[in-house]
Amino acid sequence: MAMTASKEVKVTEECKITPAPNPPEKKLSSSSDEGNNNYLPLTFFDTIWLKFPPTQRLFFYEINHLSSHLFYNTILPNLKHSLSLTLQHYPSLAGNLNWHPETAKPIIRYSIADDGGVPFSVAESCTLDFDSLSTDHFKEAKDLHHLLPDFHYSESKANVLSLRVTLFPNYGFSIGYCAHHTSMDGKSTSMFLSSWATICRRLGEGGAQLTPELIPILDRSFIQDPSNISTIFTNQWMKMIHGNENKRSFVPLDMKPAPGLFRSTFRLTPEQIGHIKEKLAIIKSPVSTFTAVCSYVWTCLVKAEEGDITKEIVYLNINVDCRGESRWDPPVPANYFGNCVTYRFAKAKVECLKGGDGLVVAAAAIKEEIGSLAVKGKVENWLLEVSSTFRNEKVYGIGGSPWFDFYGVDFGWGRPEKVEMVSSDRNGSFSLCDCRDGNGVIEIGIVLSKPKIQAFASIFAQGLLQEIAS
C-alpha cells in the first residue's frame, strides 16, 4: 500500500490488526434471530448515536531522546502485539458497521474475510512540535487532527475503530483513535484502552491476563427493548437526515470544526473544588464534585460568550451512565461493553447564570436533571427531543469524565504527558478528564475562538481568586 505524506506528518505504514489466533470462546450475538455469531446487534443506547461523527482522542507519551530504533523495534511491535491480544476480548472493535442482510438493522460485523481488523497507521512528525501540542496552553485546534487516523465510512459500511501511532523523534510518540460512538461510550472506551495498556505493559511478564473488571460483557440481553426502540431510532435518523426512513446510510453528520479555533486546558484542584462547594452550601442537599465543576465551567462559558448568545435560555447536555441502575432487571453490569448512557438537559436563563447567584442557579439546574433520571416511558422520543434541542437552542455539552482514568493508560513507558479529546472542537463540548499528577485534580478542555478562550481564561481565573477563594 502506498504511503501518504503531508508537510506535517509522514505516514510510514498502514495495516490492520486482527485478534490473535485461538481467541477465547466469545459469541458476539446475544439474539438468536441474528443468525450469525459474527453479528453484534445494536441496542437503542447504541443507535441513538448512529449518525454522530466519531469520537477522537489523543494520548501523548514523552520519552526523552527516543530513537527510531527503539520506536520501530520495541515500542511499535509491543503496541501491535498487545492490541491483537486485547482484541481477543474485544472482537467487536475489529469489525465494521453493516446493515444486516436480512433484517436491514444496523449491526457490527466482524469477519477477517469481510475486511475485518482495526485499521492501524504509523506516522512520523515532520513539522509538528511535541511540546507545543502536549502543552496546556493555547494551541490551534486544527494541529491535533494531523495525528488522528483516517476514518472510513460509506452508505453500507463504517469503521468501528481506527488507530494511529505517531513518532516524534527524540521526544516521544502519540496514540490517536477515532471510534464510532455506536460501538462504545466513554466508560467502555476507558475499559478497552486500560485493557490494551495492561496487556502491553505485562508482555514481558509471560502473561497477559486481565482483571475481571477489564473483561468486557458483550451480552446485549441486559438492554431489554420489547418496543423495538432501536429500529425506531434508526428510522428517525434516516428521516431526519435523508428525508426517508427507508434510506440506509452510515455517512455521519457533517460537523466540521469552525475555522480559527484554539484549545486550552484549565485545572481545578480539590481545594478549589471545595471552595466551589462551599459557595453552593445554600443548596440543601450535598453537591457532587461533578456538579460543582460543571456549574463553574458553565457559568464561565456563558460569561465569556455573553455577547454572542442570542437565546434567553441556555442548556447543558449531560450524559448519565445507566449501568447498575435498579430499574433494569437484571441491572446492567459495570463492565458491560457498548453504550449505556442517557441524555439530560439542564437549562437556565442567561441573565441568571451571569448574575451573582449564577453558580447556585447552574448547580440547582444540574442537580434537578440528574435527579430526575428515568430510563422508562417515552424513550422512543429521546432522539427527536435531543435533535430539536441541539438544532434550535444554545447547548453546551460535556465530553469525557474525570472518573475514566485516561491518565492511567500506561503501556509500559509511563503515564501520558497529555490527553486531549480532539472531537470536542466540533460539537460545542468542554471536556473533563483526570490529571497526570492525580491527587484529585480535574482537567477541563476548552475549545473556542481566540478572543473567547482568552475571555474564558480571565473569567475562570478571576472567579477562583475573587469569588470562590474569598
Does residue 349 belong to any structural domain of this protein? yes
Inside any domain, residue 165: yes
Low-confidence ranges of the chain (pLDDT < 70): 1-5, 22-37, 112-114, 206-208, 326-327, 373-377, 467-470
The H or E element that residue 391 is part of is helix 382-392
Q: Quote the CA–CA distance of 6 and 265 in Å, as a whole number.
A: 28
Listed in sequence order, the DSSP H helices in 116-228 are 130-133, 186-201
For residue 372, the number of C-alpha atoms closer than 13 Å in the C-beta half-sphere is: 12
Q: Residue 318 is part of a domain; what is its CATH number?
A: 3.30.559.10
Q: Which three cell numbers stand for residue 127?
A: 513539522
Residues 229, 275, single domain; the answer is: no
- pLDDT at residue 32, as a whole number: 39
User: Which residues is 353 bridged to in the sheet?
Assistant: none
Helix axes 229-242, 382-392, angle to 10 degrees: 30
Residues 304 and 238 in one domain: no
Domain shared by 452 and 353, yes or no: yes
Q: Domain containing 359: what range? A: 261-468
Q: What grid cell was written down for 225?
A: 427493548
The reply to whether 186 and 266 lie within a common domain is no
Active site residue ranges? 181, 410
Residue in this structure with the C-alpha cell 440506509, named with its chain if needed: 248
Sign of the torsion formed by the C-alpha atoms of 97, 150, 83 and 17 = positive
201 and 119 within one domain = yes
**Number of structural domains the chain divides into:** 2
Tell me which of 242, 270, 301 is where a domain ends. 242
Q: Are residues 55 and 188 in the same domain?
A: yes
**159 in any annotated domain:** yes
The C-alpha cell 511478564 sits at: 205
- Report pLDDT for 134: 96
Domain presence at residue 373 = yes
